[in-house]
Amino acid sequence: MLQALDADAVSRWADTCVADLEANREEIDRINVYPVADADTGSNLLHTMRSALDSLRRAPAEVTSAVGGAISALAKGALTGARGNSGVILSQVLRGLAETVQGASSFTGVALRAALSRADELATAAVARPVPGTVLSVLHAAAQAAGETESDSLPVVAAAALDAAERALDRTPDQLAVLARAGVVDAGGRGLVVLLEALSSVVGGGSDRDTGTRAATGGTAGGPAAEPPSATAAGEVAGASGPAYEVMYLLSDTDADRADELRGILDELGDSVSVAGDGAGLWSVHVHCDDIGFAIEAGVQRGRPHDIRVLRFADAASPSEGPSPTGPRQADPTQADPTAVGAPADQLRSCSPPIKSPAAPSNLRAVVAMAGSAPLAELLSEEGASVLQPDPEPGTDRMAELLAVIRDTRARHVCLLPDGPASLDIAEQAAGLARDGGQDVVVVPVLSPVQGLAALAVHDPRRRPAADCVAMAEAAAATRRGEVVIADNTALTWVGRCEPGDALGLIDGEVVIIGADPIRTASDLLDRMLSVGGELVTILLGADAPDGLLTALSERLRRAHPEVDLTSFDGELPATVLLLGVE
């Protein structure tokens, strides 16, 4: 028996977790009825734990030679590779372990008590609406039992946590009616028990256990168990009236306050919400919802979303097929659109609530973009978008004009590209009215025309509508936006006071440079944006661009950043020197 885990023992535990989750994956997938009967909890946990193990194996030896470094590598990999709510919670369990043993030479029974308590706190805090009868209840019971154990022996503490987790798992059908009706225990809780069994096995306290034979159905571990439910029964229990999509992404360039705010906003949008961090500025976001665009836009407004993944629950394996070996299919950018023209209306799936009047639109797909200048409108049109032309005179009802453009496409599915923060509200209003009229409109969160161009560049009508919307949203979010304008009044900015005539360099809407010369300011802004990396720079010249600006920036890139590609357009945007996009 081991009284403490060193780095090698942590690696063996991670290996055992992956092997045991793989052995139990089909069973855990089969009993997955809450919150959605999509038969993927076992697959999600396995994928997440594999990502954790891969992170450990890739980490430098000088980091993983210490137990704290080894567990931290597991936690980091679990967060970045988390799949589903269960994967997010698993990442917080590992984070709790990592935070507790930082700087320690070994992982003892005393450390396990503190680690499970911290993991319980983190996992509960990550979830917007903790529900009794889920993996959180099982984790809480394990942490409480470990804390109450009088012995400091690691095998004893591990065994106490495991026994309490098993008893809590058996109680989950009494706490959650959907589990009782299906005759199963909670799938996420079952996965946590597998991990604790692996730990007990590695330290020597559970070698007589067989992780492949424990009952997954209701009833006590030693009593009679019901037959495992069929996938059909599970689907009937869970119902099909919930949100249509699972949206997940990583969020960086944010903080705990904005992450908490995002959790609350997503809770109003959908359900099964979790926003969990790694303690170092990276967050994993998960929500079940109908409005993909809003879920991603909420992240854009509070940080930088990336690694965006969307699962349409309708794409999960059908009951007659049983669960897929890798869980439900992810949105596949290379897959042709199955919603061919003439398909029955009840088979159409999209990024937004169901179409109310499917008979009205006649075309399948369209992209509608808003433009602030005639050259930009022409550019967007050449790229295949239907364009809302620049406002010809003040007082025009832009929302009504935009709605007319959307309706004139007569498309079933429309991706709508605003041209900045000021146009988002107009776009959302027009999209809502268009949905009422029978079109499925998704607003892609675009905060600058350069992000709109990036989104339009990846548009592919051969994709399914959901996959195409996600690809465009991800391209927009991955494009860092900059701008140079001329100040027209005195103002106090984050970097000091500006005076009329000053050249202001902005990144993501915030002033970061105040200069006297627009060309020098644009060059400095470009260097600053490329200091964190980039492969492609897009320049959109504004109406205030001085002669020689594009030549100066091209020369700057050639000398300082020869590896970066440049694309430029004459946008003639009013009151703007230039817009920059870095990808």
Dihedral of alpha carbons 221, 224, 230, 232, sign:
negative
Q: Please give the pLDDT value at position 392.
A: 66
**pLDDT tens digits, one per residue of 372-408:** 999 999 999 988 899 998 876 666 788 889 999 999 9
Tokens for 163, please give them: 């026994």
| % of the chain surpassing 90 pLDDT | 49
Distance CA 50, CA 197 (A): 17
Residues 6+ apart with CB under 8 A from 501: 486, 487
Tell me: pLDDT of 93 over 90.
Answer: yes
Distance CA 565, CA 554 (A): 10
Q: How confident is the model at residue 159 (pLDDT cuts 50, 70, 90)?
A: very high
Question: How confident is the model over 260-282, as a mean pLDDT?
Answer: 91
Mean pLDDT of the chain: 82
Distance CA 29, CA 31 (A): 6
Q: Please give the pLDDT value at position 230.
A: 43
Q: What share of the chain is helix, strand, coil (3-state, %, to 5)?
A: 45, 20, 35
Q: How confident is the model at residue 1 (pLDDT cuts 50, 70, 90)?
A: confident
Question: How confident is the model over 70-94, as a mean pLDDT?
Answer: 92
Q: Please give the pLDDT value at position 220.
A: 37
- CB hemisphere CA count around 482 (13 angstroms): 24
Determine whether 68 is exposed, middle or buried from the number of CB atoms within 10 Å of its CB (0-12, 13-18, 19+). buried
Domains of the chain in sequence order: 4-222 (1.25.40.340), 243-317 (3.30.70.1710), 350-477 (3.40.50.510), 480-582 (3.30.1180)
- DSSP annotation of 128: S
Number of Cβ within 10 Å of residue 567's Cβ equals: 14
**pLDDT tens digits, one per residue of 134-151:** 999 999 999 999 999 989
Distance CA 255, CA 235 (A): 38
Residues 6+ apart with CB under 8 A from 15: 53
Q: How confident is the model at residue 329 (pLDDT cuts 50, 70, 90)?
A: very low
Tokens for 35, please give them: 């919150």
| SS3 at position 469 | helix
Number of Cβ within 10 Å of residue 489's Cβ equals: 7
Tokens for 484, please give them: 């140079």
Whether a cis peptide bond, with omega within 30° of 0, leads into 35 is yes
151 or 293, higher pLDDT? 151
Dump the DSSP string for 402-429: HHHHHHHHTEEEEEEE-SSHHHHHHHHH
Q: Please give the pLDDT value at position 342.
A: 29
Tell me: pLDDT of 571 over 90.
Answer: no
Q: Please give the pLDDT value at position 436.
A: 83
**Which runs of consecutive H residues, i.e. helices, occur in 81-186?**
84-101, 109-126, 135-148, 154-175, 177-182
Angle among Cα 356, 362, 363 to the nearest 5 degrees reads: 110
274 φ/ψ angles, rounded to the nearest 5 degrees: -145, 140
Q: Please give the pLDDT value at position 194.
A: 95
Determine whether 422 is exposed, middle or buried from the number of CB atoms within 10 Å of its CB (0-12, 13-18, 19+). exposed
Q: Are 386 and 409 in contact (CB under 8 A)?
A: yes
Tell me: pLDDT of 522 over 70.
Answer: yes
Q: Please give the pLDDT value at position 462.
A: 80
34 φ/ψ angles, rounded to the nearest 5 degrees: -140, 135
Q: How confident is the model at residue 264 (pLDDT cuts 50, 70, 90)?
A: very high
Tell me: pLDDT of 239 over 70.
Answer: no
Dihedral of alpha carbons 115, 116, 117, 122, sign:
positive
Q: Please give the pLDDT value at position 314.
A: 65
Distance CA 478, CA 535 (A): 12
Q: How confident is the model at residue 580 (pLDDT cuts 50, 70, 90)?
A: very high
Question: How confident is the model over 271-291, as a mean pLDDT?
Answer: 90
Q: Are 5 and 13 in contact (CB under 8 A)?
A: yes
Distance CA 158, CA 167 (A): 14
Nearest CA to 87 out of 28, 47, 146 is that of 47
Q: What is the model's pTM? A: 0.57
**pLDDT tens digits, one per residue of 475-491:** 898 899 999 999 999 98
| % of the chain surpassing 70 pLDDT | 84
Distance CA 512, CA 495 (A): 6
Q: Are 514 and 493 in contact (CB under 8 A)?
A: yes
Question: How confident is the model over 237-252, as a mean pLDDT?
Answer: 73
Terminal C-alpha separation, the chain: 52
Distance CA 516, CA 521 (A): 8
Distance CA 325, CA 305 (A): 29
Q: Please give the pLDDT value at position 343.
A: 29
Tell me: pLDDT of 356 over 50.
Answer: no
Q: Are 541 and 486 in contact (CB under 8 A)?
A: no
Distance CA 569, CA 39 (A): 48
Q: What's the maximum distance between 2 C-alpha atoms anywhere in the chain?
A: 83
Tell me: pLDDT of 439 over 90.
Answer: no
Question: In one letter, which amino acid is 457?
Answer: A
Residues 6+ apart with CB under 8 A from 554: 566, 568
- DSSP annotation of 127: B
Q: Please give the pLDDT value at position 351.
A: 34
Q: How confident is the model at residue 363 (pLDDT cuts 50, 70, 90)?
A: low
Q: Which of 180-194, 230-244, 285-299, 543-557 has the lowest mean pLDDT?
A: 230-244
**pLDDT tens digits, one per residue of 99-145:** 988 877 778 889 999 999 999 999 999 999 888 999 999 999 999 99
Distance CA 181, CA 499 (A): 69
